[in-house]
Structure 1
């Protein structure tokens, strides 16, 4: 079972014991409204179902819990078809998402041959777009996606990060 340690965090595979904290964090409207596939309200049963389907993490594809020692589950970072993340509201603006995503991207690029990673965010999700920019992602295009929470289409900014840009950034 994978566990990645950063300066302040532990990134690990999800387990069913995470369900209550997971549901509380992602279930807050201010978090869920920016997560296109997430319904609102988000229940404990939904968290259990989601955690049951989580596959073992690999550098190619992973979904990892962001665990803050002494506090527990504070969010999630994933790299499936694109890099995605959320953080519970009490932990906003502390650099946790950037720290977790950096560790996941390091593991990803070291362990597979994929040359480009995509990410995206609602056009008005300035915090997520700022994290993506800090990580080196650049805008590639815009597209419309249906938001389960908002129950309407939302303009998304799709961003990309190349392996070469990541490696250059990490050396600097």
Structure 2
């Protein structure tokens, strides 16, 4: 079982008992509005089904629960066609998102991954700032349908290549 530890967090595979906290955190509108593809409203049944489908993480196909030792499940990070992440609203502004994403990126490239694509809504300043600080570079813009907002939203799509990540301080790559 692949588990990744940081100074404050544990990134681990999902377990069935994560479903209630997962659904509660990701289902809050303040979180869901930024997750364009997320079905919304998000139910416990959806969480159970989603977590049941997750598999052993491998480069390009990874899903990790973000767990805080004292607070439990506080979010998730994933890498499928694109990297995705969310942190429950009560935990915003503490650097947990960056810590989890940076750990996922380190792991992906250490496993032989060559690039990572990410996207964020054009007005999601926190996510755009986080990816820019890690060295992601904008490659295009697209409109995508947001289930929570029920309309198309402008997305900034960015990419991080392994060569830029391993070159040193990722902030120098932006």
Q: Which TM class, normalised by the smaller chain length?
A: over 0.9
1:138 match: 137
CA distance in 1, matches of 2:115, 2:78: 15
CA contact under 8 A between 1:60 and 1:108: conserved in structure 2?
A: yes
CA contact under 8 A between 1:136 and 1:169: conserved in structure 2?
A: no
Instruction: Give the TM-score normalised by structure 1.
Output: 0.95
Q: CA deviation at 1:39?
A: 2.0
1:85 match: 85
CA contact under 8 A between 2:63 and 2:76: conserved in structure 1?
A: yes
Q: CA deviation at 1:117?
A: 1.0
Instruction: Give the TM-score normalised by structure 2.
Output: 0.94
2:24 match: 24
Q: CA deviation at 1:14?
A: 0.6
CA contact under 8 A between 1:23 and 1:43: conserved in structure 2?
A: yes
CA distance in 1, matches of 2:85, 2:169: 20
State the superposition RMSD in angstroms.
Answer: 1.3
Unaligned runs of 5+ in 2: none
Asked if 1:53 corresponds to 2:53, the answer is: yes
Q: CA deviation at 1:70?
A: 1.3
Structure 1 runs, 4 residues or longer, greater than 6 Å off: none
CA contact under 8 A between 2:138 and 2:158: conserved in structure 1?
A: yes
CA distance in 2, matches of 1:80, 1:162: 16
Corresponding residue pairs, total: 171
